[in-house]
Amino acid sequence: MAGPPRDGSEAPEAVQGPRRRGISLAALRRLGAMRLRARVAVEGHFSGQHRSTTHGVSVEFADHREYAPGDDTRHLDWRLYARAERDFVKQFDAETNLCVYILLDISASMDYPSTAPNKLDYSAQLAAGLAYIAWKQRDAPGLALFDSRLRTLLPPRTQRGHLARLLETLDALTPGDETDFGAGLTEAAAAAGRRGLTVLISDLWAPPETIIRSLRYFRRKGHDVLALHVLHPDEITLPFAGS
């Protein structure tokens, strides 16, 4: 059993103070009331608050199936029996913990502007916040850093030590090469396990069809996919000479 949500006091002390990318435990704790929920059924190792692909006893009705010897008679639907004159039992979606796959673009364009805080700083803090929220509600955050290829992969885990390593990895980020969504996300999708929630954080400087095609690898695995578009104001207003 996963147990109740953590209160934040178990968070790793290694992230107490702000460092290179400005990640601090004090800031993360302010996110304590926020929650992550998947929009699709997920698979997990522990009980939790998300709908599962397996059936069990929960508050959310899923479907009926015909009664078989050995089924719990408490779940017989007598109203349906009155109409169909056959025995049916109610099925419910079990609840499970969620694997959160955070895909962070660390390509050179994310290091704009050269002065802090820049896109990579904000993106690292955003990824840290998502990981902390997932960990606090006893879900399993994971991290994939990519540019032209997959650079770092931390598979989803629920342990306190894993969160510390993930946050320290984010705080020590250095920008990489040019972006290649096709190569980077294909490698990340191949390494992704059971269905869960996939969150892409990027400035999305690539043809839309390339990004969509790359994210389809996760959708085919049954993942719920969310893209967070990070831009600097200069990239919106274009205050450049000749623009």
Q: For residue 117, is the peptide bond before it cis, meaning its omega torsion is within 30 degrees of 0?
A: yes
Q: Are residues 227 and 117 in the same domain?
A: yes
Residue-by-residue pLDDT tens, the chain, 243 positions:
455 667 666 666 555 444 488 888 888 988 877 877 766 554 444 444 545 444 444 445 556 677 777 677 887 888 887 888 788 877 654 445 789 999 999 999 999 998 889 999 999 999 999 999 999 988 999 999 999 999 999 999 988 899 999 999 999 999 999 999 999 999 999 988 777 899 999 999 999 999 999 999 999 998 999 999 999 999 999 887 665
Q: What is the DSSP letter of 69?
A: T
Token pair, residue 225, equals 């996919």
Q: Are residues 222 and 189 in the same domain?
A: yes
Q: Are residues 66 and 186 in the same domain?
A: no
Cross-strand pairs, 201: 104, 228
Q: Are residues 226 and 133 in the same domain?
A: yes
CA 141/CA 65 separation, integer angstroms = 35
In a domain, 43, yes or no: no
Q: Are residues 83 and 103 in the same domain?
A: no
Report the SS3 class of residue 202.
strand
Q: Are residues 146 and 181 in the same domain?
A: yes
Q: Are residues 67 and 122 in the same domain?
A: no
CA 235/CA 115 separation, integer angstroms = 15
Q: What is the CATH number of the domain that holds 24?
A: 3.40.50.410
CA 46/CA 95 separation, integer angstroms = 9
Residue 79 domain boundaries: 51-94
User: What is residue 22's predicted lDDT score, i.e. its pLDDT?
Assistant: 84
Q: Are residues 85 and 118 in the same domain?
A: no
Q: Are residues 141 and 192 in the same domain?
A: yes
Q: How many domains does the chain have?
A: 2
Q: Are residues 74 and 126 in the same domain?
A: no
User: What is residue 45's predicted lDDT score, i.e. its pLDDT?
Assistant: 41
User: What is residue 62's predicted lDDT score, i.e. its pLDDT?
Assistant: 55
Burial grade of 192 (CB within 10 A; 0-12, 13-18, 19 or more) = buried
In a domain, 6, yes or no: no
Residue 135 CA to its chain's centroid (Å): 11
Q: Are residues 122 and 187 in the same domain?
A: yes
